[in-house]
Structure 1
């Protein structure tokens, strides 16, 4: 019986010796010294050294300071005593308010000190919608031009003068 058990016990060792040695790890299996980052970190825009990431993100998703305030399509729109100022537009840090609607900045496509283009999330009169819009300062900051894009957008740019 001992002769019968010995070959059975030796069989796995013989098979292991005959098999191919373990393959060399390729470059993709070699550990990297690069830091591991999440997908959201990888997609975030770079932040200048010494700058706060939250301050950078906030600036990128807000209206430039020169655009903020009250803007009218005509002089009557700027009169706070009038209730029929349907051409008044009030620009805040992250939103724009019209006579019967308000739009919050969504995804920003372009931003500088004189231009903001973004998709806005609008709400008004019991409805919600999205609209691609571009705001551009002209005339030395006295005029704000609003151009909206899309099939249901108003045609052509609209000009607003800064209320005093």
Structure 2
């Protein structure tokens, strides 16, 4: 019986230490979280509003979670166009522009996937935040994304896992 206890105690210690070795849930490169809702804006909000008192900030349209999908014109015109993570994304003629993002009135088009805003949409003249429904390579998924225009750059921030990407407009 003594040998079983001797083996169990180190095993428990190893498992406990392995559980503590998990990475931080926020990616190191996710330093730009502009446009994501703050805790105060989500907690206690009423009827899909973005603040505790039930009001929405100026120039923001809030669609509650149970609402039907947003019309195709939900993405602001300031964000429309072709955006590349590198210059080669804008000029490739071989179809290998993996960092190219094409934003139109109602959808985002990536290299091998498409996304449309579906729920919890907040829009201003130069940004959108929403639960986007993605399709690509025979799969579908949903993810909260924000797109915001900052000094002629498009900053896309996503959740699960948290990450932020910067794009330049293709000319």
The normalised TM-score by structure 2 is 0.56
Partner of 2:131: 119
* Cα offset, 1:80, TM superposition: 4.7
Match for residue 149 of structure 1 among 137, 149, 159? 159
* Cα offset, 1:84, TM superposition: 1.4
SS in 2 for 1:66: helix
Match for residue 91 of structure 1 among 103, 126, 149? 103
Partner of 1:64: 76
The normalised TM-score by structure 1 is 0.58
Aligned pairs for 1:1-164 within 5 A: 58=71, 62-139=74-151, 142-150=152-160, 153=161, 155-164=162-171
SS in 2 for 1:93: coil
Contact 1:76-1:82 within 8 A present in 2 as well: no
Partner of 1:25: none
Contact 2:108-2:114 within 8 A present in 1 as well: yes
Q: Deviations over 1:73-101 (max 9, x none)?
A: 01000015242110000001110000000
Contact 1:94-1:105 within 8 A present in 2 as well: yes
Cα distance in 2, alignment partners of residues 85 and 70 from structure 1: 11
Q: Deviations over 1:28-72 (max 9, x none)?
A: xxxxxxxxxxxxxxx899xxxxxxxxxxx748x611101001000
5+ residue gaps, structure 2 = 1-46, 50-69
Contact 2:155-2:164 within 8 A present in 1 as well: yes
Which protein shows a greater Rg?
Answer: 1
Larger RCO: 1 or 2 (CA < 8 Å, sep 6+)? 2
